[in-house]
Each structure stands twice: as C-alpha cells, then as structure tokens.
Structure 1
C-alpha cells in the first residue's frame, strides 16, 4: 500500500466516523480518490503541484468527462488536501485555484416559424379587454424587434429626458438603450404596429406619473416579471408544446431573421450585441434548420 493509499484510508475513515457521511457519499469520495491515485501514478500525493492537478483536470476533460463531474472531483480532492495539510507538512493545497473547464454554452431555444405565428395569433377574442390588447402588443413587439424583456418594460411613449427607450411611431421603430448603455434603433413590423395602435387606443393614463408604454393592471409601469408571467400563460393557452419566456421570442427573432437573410452583421446590430461572437451562436440554429430541410427534401438524405 502506498503512502497515498494510507492517507486516503484514514481520510475516508474520519469522514465516516466524525462527519457520518452516508455510504453513497463515501463511495463517491472513494471513487474520486481512486481516480486521483490513478492519475498520480507512482508519484507521492504530497508532492503533487498545482500544475499537476490542472493537468489531471485537462486529461479528464479530454477523456470526455463533463465539466460538472470534473468540478465535483476537484472539490473532493480539495477537501482531501485540506485535511492532509492538517495532518502532515503539506506546503500548500495543490487544488486551490484549479477550476473545471467551462461548460459548453447551450444553443438558445427558438420557436419554429409556424409555432411563432401560432403564438402571435393564438387565443384572440373579438372584444378584447385592455390588458389583453396590452399583452398582444408586448408579445408582437418582442418577436418583431427582438427586444430584451427589460428593454420592453422600460419603453416610454416618446423620448424624454430620462427615457431609456421609447416608441417612435412616426419612424416605425423603437429606440432602446441596452447593455453597456448602447443605444440602437430597431424596426417595428406591421403586425406589431397594428397591435400597438390597438393598445394605445385604450391605454389609460399611468397612475405612477410615468410615460410608460406598457402598464400593469394597477396602472403602473409593467415589470419584466409580469411580462414573463403573462407570456407563459398566453403560450399555455395557445397550445405551445414548449415553455415560452421573453428570451425565447428574442432567440426566435434572431434565428428566423438569419434564416431568411443570412446577414449575421445585421442580426448583430438589431440584437445590440457588442461582439459578433455573441451572435454567431445563431449560425448553429440556422444550420439545424438547413439540415432539417435537407433531411426532409433530399432523396439521398436518409438510408432506405
């Protein structure tokens, strides 16, 4: 038995008797330490360095282990070395400062074009209440202009001294101040303009003295949380097969625009991204759309 194995046995025994960890948790610690022993080879655990642990983490990642799993192993190793430092002349904890690889950023969810149209057209009544007209205008504008929900909630009826964003009905666009105080102008499509006109025809004066474009049922500026709640319920009532939140409409705006135009720079400007890198993720969504078209239409796409 190596010195490392002896230290590991003592550590696990202490976890069991003093911290009274469950058998399942102890088994996980045992597996993590066994993996550390395998990675260390014949090297004494007490001599492992920060660089060694970083190399081990990189090797685990190269072997296909998920960042979350590697982070859990590093946490277990860090706890072991903390204990070892209390029972030996360990100069420093070699795991301190070592982080797991970043998790791959998942593709944003986006509705299909048909689902987006169904969501915009769904659950309409001939004689809608004012708040229903408000909802319709908000949802149409989110999808039409790709706004963040905070940008939508911050819109005013017109430009003012302290306005962070406003509706320019004459120019048929909205002007918003997004992240980094970056101002941009985004066109408003015809269905959204019609929905906004219907809402403005019944919009009551704001009770909070604001110039807010969209109001809550109390007559105050609507909050992003309320927009999110109303959209979620509207999606359920419209029969959407997935959970819909405001950012889904922003993603749908971007991916549908890219599918039709192929102009990544234009989509970047309309979304208000400071870097093209943030926008490039939509090229993956666009490829998914093209791949689906290929699979459906090409005679040699699928094996017989």
Structure 2
C-alpha cells in the first residue's frame, strides 16, 4: 500500500472544502466515504491509484449483501467517483474505475392494503356527522374500495353522462365510466352496496350539490354537475377526500390513516385473493401493463404466508 494514499485523500478533502466550497457536513461525509474506500483498498492490497473497475464492483456487492441500501451505496459511489475524477485531472489514474458503476436498485415498496376485516369495518362505519356528509363520504368509500377507482377518477365523476363529463355512474347498468391515466376510458362494475350508498347520497345531495340552505349560485356550473361536492356546492378536491378519509379512519378505530389509494390497493388485493384472476384485476384497475398489476401477487403471497404461519403445524416449530 503506497504511503501517500492518506495524503491524497487529505489533499482531495482540502480541495472540496476550499475550492469547491462544500459545506462542512458534506466534507465530513466525503471523509467517511473515502476512509471506507481506503480500508477496502488495504484489504485488497492495492493502492488507491491501482483500483480497478472490478474492485469497485466487488465492494459494491459486499455493501449490498451487508444490507446497505441502494441509496446509501449511490451516495458512497458519488463520493468515490468525484475522488477518482480529481485524480484523473492530475494524471494520477488512467481512467475512473467508478465511472460506469451503479448502485443496486432499491426494491419497490409493496402498496399498503388494509386487511379484509379492516376494510369492511371501514366501509361499514357510520359516523355521527350530519347526514349529508355521512351519505357523501360513505358513497365515496364504496366507490374507492368497491370499484378500485383512483382519487382523480372519483373527483372527475359527474352526476349524469354528458359530452363534457370525465366520468359518471350508470345506476341502471351498475357501472362507473371513468377517465383514467393517459386519458383512457374504462368501465368498472359497481356493487349493490355502492349503488345503495350512491342513491342515498343523490337523494340528499340536491340539484345544486349544496348542503342545506347554501345559496345555489355558490356551486357554479362545475359544482352543479359534480357528483361529489363540498358544503358550498363546489366540486370536492382530491385533498378534501384525503382529509375526509383520514378523519373517518380515526373515528372508525383503525390503526392506520386510510387514504384513497390504500382503498384501491385493498380492492385489488382482495379481488385477487378471492379470484386469482390477475388479468381481470388488470382490467378493473386500468393498468396498461400486467407487470404493474403483478405487485398484488406479492401482497397475495404475504396473505398466504401469514395464513401458513398461523395454521400449519410445521410453521410453529422452533427453528
């Protein structure tokens, strides 16, 4: 191991501190990353100027196996890449061994879905709110969980079909027609419970979509046509729906705050658990690619694994 390796690191840290004027905390993190590089090079019995691409790849693999996150490895590689680029500018290395090395991709987190019992508890919950608000919120929950709508699709629903309508619910056909991602239209079934909830909401909503004695002119044209409105008759926003669902989940006694996409995830997971029809779930969700829907097979496997752990005698043996 060349004796000047430590001196090279110190000189580089001085360079980024003085000439690049990096923050003290950033310089400190660079120092930690380069100390790790120095340690790895010592173990491999190579000098820093002798480090090759295969060394870097091996050390990345070791960090990954040790449990370091992809983001953490990416930050370390960024520090190493800058150091070797600096060495290259001074002609101390022929090429940058980190240049084409990328950190491992972080696994995509599984979508959060409610357990079946929790989802049913949430959907069946009746709050002590004013009947107008309760009917509206119950209908929204039934469409989000019962039909797997996106919150944007729910917001875009109108009371009746029309040339300018983004979406609507056909009560007679028991179908919701929505405008999804990529301006793609699709139709999804609406269950009997959702139809009942929607009819109750429409009876209370009124022609202007306003609550109680609110002035009709407060609604505006868009509010008058919107299926779900706020107290003044304006079309309910996605943020407003998030807030109402979060409040409703707290009142219902759930341990997690529920948001619209969680109900969509729950819809997909529970339909897949019951039917095993991945293609059918893809169509219901409006996914263009089956790989997007396949994430729910992982949720389904988790469900089966929990059932196995709880029921199978071999799962209960101490390892």
Report SS of the residue matched to 1:239.
coil
Give me the CA root mean square deviation. Answer: 2.8
**Equivalent residue number for residue 259 of structure 1:** 273
1:152 aligns with 2:154: yes
CA distance in 2 between partners of 1:55 and 1:164 (Å): 53
Structure 1, unpaired ranges of 5+? none
Shift of 1:37: 3.4
Shift of 1:73: 0.5
**Equivalent residue number for residue 292 of structure 2:** 278
Shift of 1:160: 1.7
**Equivalent residue number for residue 123 of structure 2:** 120
**Equivalent residue number for residue 109 of structure 1:** 112
Provide closer, same or farther for how the CA distance between residues 181 and 7 of structure 1 changes in structure 2, counting only shifts above 3 A. same
Report SS of the residue matched to 2:221.
coil
Shift of 1:95: 4.8
- TM alignment of 1:181-196, pairs within 5 A: 181-196=183-198
1:298 aligns with 2:300: no
Paired residues of 1:15 and 1:21 also in contact (CA < 8 A): no
C-alpha distance after superposition, 1:177-204 (max 9, x if no partner): 2112222111111111111001101113
Paired residues of 2:127 and 2:251 also in contact (CA < 8 A): no
- TM alignment of 1:40-55, pairs within 5 A: 41=44, 45=48
Matched pairs, number: 301
Paired residues of 2:132 and 2:205 also in contact (CA < 8 A): yes
- TM alignment of 1:174-185, pairs within 5 A: 174-185=176-187
Select 1:235's aligned residue among 249, 258, 268: 249
1:29 aligns with 2:41: no
1:70 aligns with 2:73: yes
Report SS of the residue matched to 1:228.
helix
C-alpha distance after superposition, 1:253-295 (max 9, x if no partner): 0111111111111111111111111111111111221222222
Shift of 1:166: 1.3
Paired residues of 1:178 and 1:272 also in contact (CA < 8 A): yes
CA distance in 1 between partners of 2:47 and 2:164 (Å): 64
Paired residues of 2:157 and 2:168 also in contact (CA < 8 A): yes
CA distance in 2 between partners of 1:82 and 1:256 (Å): 52
Report SS of the residue matched to 1:201.
helix
Report SS of the residue matched to 1:300.
helix
Select 1:61's aligned residue among 56, 60, 64: 64
Structure 2, unpaired ranges of 5+? 210-218
Report SS of the residue matched to 1:301.
helix
TM-score, normalisation: structure 1? 0.86
1:133 aligns with 2:135: yes
